[in-house]
Amino acid sequence: MIGFIGLGVMGRPMAEHLITAGHKVALYRVKPASQFLVDKGGIALDNARAVAEASDIVILMLPDTPDVEDVLFGADGVAEGLSAGKLVIDMSSISPMATRTFAERLKQKGVGYLDAPVSGGEMGAKNAALTIMVGGEQTDFERALPLLEIMGKSITHIGGVGDGQTAKVANQIIVGLTIEAVAEALLFARRAGADVAKVREALMGGFAASRILEVHGQRMIDETFDPGFRIRLHRKDLSLAADAAKALNLALPNTAMTQQLMNAALAIGLGDKDHSALIAALDHLSAPGK
Ligand code: NAD
């Protein structure tokens, strides 16, 4: 039996692929939006402990570090139901430093731990085409690989525990700063009076072309900011970068600045909009007549 905890935007399609592939999957927390997984053969259980008792491998897909800590070590949590030889795979995007602590605590019980955060968004999850960045021991990686291959396409064993999360933070730095750059460029073009759609089209043929100019640039032009990936979650990822940078005495000035702009986006009510809505925060900063 495989356990799956965290049935949100990403977790639902990921758990669905495991069920469709023929695995018995224990689920928590099933809500109306995830009831279809039970209809397809998933087994709804009452708490995380029950999932861990029933499963050999427990997968987590939760929002943030405190959620993972609570599900693992809180009352009726995963740790209470684990025994030696089991494996936890945390696919959430959380702190690399906390990840190492969680893995160490579980190792004392004889339980293996992989961090395996993903990139590719809701579409990647739905199409089983996620990029998965894995940290942990080789034997645990080999044990998990057949399951990861059901959910993802590009799977890389980066290194030891925490290194998968480090790779994901690096990914989020590039994506966040590129969205900020595209937002500044398109806002500039619009305020300077150019046809922004034509500007994007022209730039897509040159050196400034990128997947983010293509996808998020189009969303900025259309002003369609339904998530996608919520600014609130991206701000969390840049906070993880800031925490790690502090621990390393490392300056990441543009990461810090983009995080501040995300604070501004939340302040004007955009926290649950797609991260391409960063352009609206920039627009607000230079609102004409203010
Ligand atoms: P989400 O908020 O849609 O889903 C999280 C789920 O966890 C929710 O269903 C919530 O009910 C559940 N949950 C929270 N606390 C719980 C608990 N104590 N017990 C059981 N369930 C609990 O978030 P998401 O978009 O699915 O993202 C999940 C993770 O994946 C995040 O770390 C995010 O940064 C990362 N991620 C998201 C995307 C994306 O495009 N949405 C892309 C890559 C990575």
pLDDT tens digits for range 64-100: 999 999 999 999 999 999 999 999 999 999 999 999 9
User: What is the pTM for the complete model shown?
Assistant: 0.95
Mean pLDDT of the chain: 97
Mean of pLDDT values over 256-262: 98
pLDDT over 70 at 177, yes or no = yes
Predicted pLDDT at 228: 84
Predicted pLDDT at 227: 87
Domains observed in the chain:
2-159 (3.40.50.720), 166-285 (1.10.1040.10)
Length of the chain: 290
State CA 45 to chain mean position distance.
24
If one residue of 27, 151, 233 were mutated to test the ligand 1 pocket, choosing by the most ligand atoms within 8 A of its CB, it would be: 233
Both tokens of 253, joined, read 């000035």
pLDDT over 60 at 290, yes or no = no
Helices 231-247, 96-107: inter-axial angle, 10-degree rounding: 80
The DSSP string of the chain is -EEEE--STTHHHHHHHHHHTT--EEEES--GGGHHHHHTT-EE-SSHHHHHHH-SEEEE--SSHHHHHHHHHSTT-HHHH--TT-EEEE-S---HHHHHHHHHHHHTTT-EEEE--EESHHHHHHTT-EEEEEES-HHHHHHHHHHHHHHEEEEEEEESTTHHHHHHHHHHHHHHHHHHHHHHHHHHHHHTT--HHHHHHHHHTSTT--HHHHHHHHHHHHT----SSBHHHHHHHHHHHHHHHHHTT---HHHHHHHHHHHHHHHTT-TTSBGGGHHHHHHHHT-TT-
Torsion angles phi and psi, residue 94, rounded to 5: -135, -175
Catalytic residue among 86, 168, 236, 273: 168
If one residue of 5, 7, 9 were mutated to test the ligand 1 pocket, choosing by the most ligand atoms within 8 A of its CB, it would be: 9
Predicted pLDDT at 260: 97
Predicted pLDDT at 146: 98
72 C-alpha to ligand 1 centroid (Å)? 15
- Establish whether 198 is a catalytic residue: no
165 C-alpha to ligand 1 centroid (Å)? 15
By C-alpha distance, which of 97, 104, 68, 111 is closest to 162? 97
Both tokens of 17, joined, read 């692929």
Is 93:168 a contact under the CB 8 Å cutoff? yes
Q: What CA–CA distances, in Å, run from 144 to 2, 19, 111, 224?
A: 11, 16, 13, 37
201 C-alpha to ligand 1 centroid (Å)? 34
Predicted pLDDT at 213: 98
Predicted pLDDT at 206: 98
Mean of pLDDT values over 203-231: 96
